[in-house]
Amino acid sequence: MRIILPLIILIILTGCGMTGFIALQEEPVKSCSPNITIASFNLRKFSDASRTDEELNKVTDVMKQFDLIAAQEVLGNTKILNRTINILNKKTGKKYKYAVSIPVGNVQKERYAFIYDTSKIKINGEGKVYNDKYDKFIREPFYANFKANEFDFTLMTIHILYGNSAADRTGEMKQIANVYEYFQGLDDKENDMILTGDFNTEPGQANFEYIQEIPNIKLAITKGKSTLGKNGNLYDNIIFDSGTQEYTNSKGIYLFDEILEMDKDKAQEMVSDHRPVYAVFCTGEDDD
């Protein structure tokens, strides 16, 4: 029996601030300029008390690859974000800013943050925590409206409960699918709702079907391991409507542990136990 292997195109990423590594692409990549790279990054108990400047240097080595980062698991006050932005701006010569949520969580209080390059991206108003009036989430999602040249979009991020078993995640996965569809349906002319986060569930597993069964849904990442544990899991993703014409098909998991030549234990200690996932979008023309 002859086995036919799928064709995989190797693309060396340039022009998006990400050079020196190769990403696997399964679809033809749309070349465009200008563009932006959006990432989702669980920062593992990211607090001022727990991170040294040496560690923040490593963290910002990762962050500088992206134009907009949806960050989860920011703890405590905003001093850690101020330190991060100062190092990031000095390192890049750019002017990154952040929008941060109020603390959310029924057990451990966490914040979300959107960290963005102001030379490429503008925020419209302020970020908002979703009004979870029926108490469906342990940590309510956070969202904000952004504009990059002609591309305007809503970015939402979530950190789904892990719990003791997959059954503990069912309610939140079902509800985040409902929330996505609600926001996507607010304007029939707009397709640019982007959901990011740590879902603590892999595509294809029980509970992810609530998202995958949404009509016209697109998952940027369908294979690979975003977490750095012993076995690794694809818990992080970037999700949007397949009609989002600005999407370039360029996406991936940023393997910072390999790129920064760190063993996994050191990478988890100094940066995170999650690798960021990313997707690239054109910004020169709006499809709406």
- At 263, which CATH number? 3.60.10.10
Q: How many structural domains does the chain have?
A: 1
Tell me if 8 is assigned to some domain.
no
β-bridge partners, 218? 240
CA–CA distance, 288 with 273 (Å, rounded to integer)? 38
Decide which of 71 and 24 is more confident. Answer: 71
pLDDT of residue 189: 74
Tell me if 21 is assigned to some domain.
no
Nearest to 96 by CA among 55, 53, 72, 67: 67
pLDDT of residue 188: 75
CA–CA distance, 172 with 160 (Å, rounded to integer)? 7
Tell me if 85 is assigned to some domain.
yes
Range(s) of the domain holding residue 93 = 33-282
pTM metric for this prediction: 0.91
pLDDT of residue 264: 95
Tell me if 254 is assigned to some domain.
yes
Q: What is the pLDDT of residues 137-151, one digit of tens each?
A: 999 999 999 999 999
Please state the rounded mean pLDDT for residues 180-204.
92
Tell me if 207 is assigned to some domain.
yes
Tell me if 246 is assigned to some domain.
yes
CA–CA distance, 119 with 223 (Å, rounded to integer)? 32
What whole-number percentage of the chain has pLDDT above 70?
90
Exposed/middle/buried for 107, CB within 10 Å: 0-12, 13-18, 19+? Answer: exposed
Spatial contact of 269 and 239, defined as CB atoms under 8 Å apart: no
Question: Cβ atoms within 10 A of the Cβ of 78, count?
Answer: 15
Tell me if 6 is assigned to some domain.
no
Quickly state the pLDDT bin for 187 (edges 50, 70, 90).
confident
Q: What is the pLDDT of residues 25-81, one digit of tens each?
A: 578 999 999 999 999 999 999 999 999 999 999 999 999 999 999 999 999 999 999
Tell me if 288 is assigned to some domain.
no
> Quick one: three-class SS letters along 160-183?
CCCCCCHHHHHHHHHHHHHHHHHH
Enter the DSSP assignment of 46. E
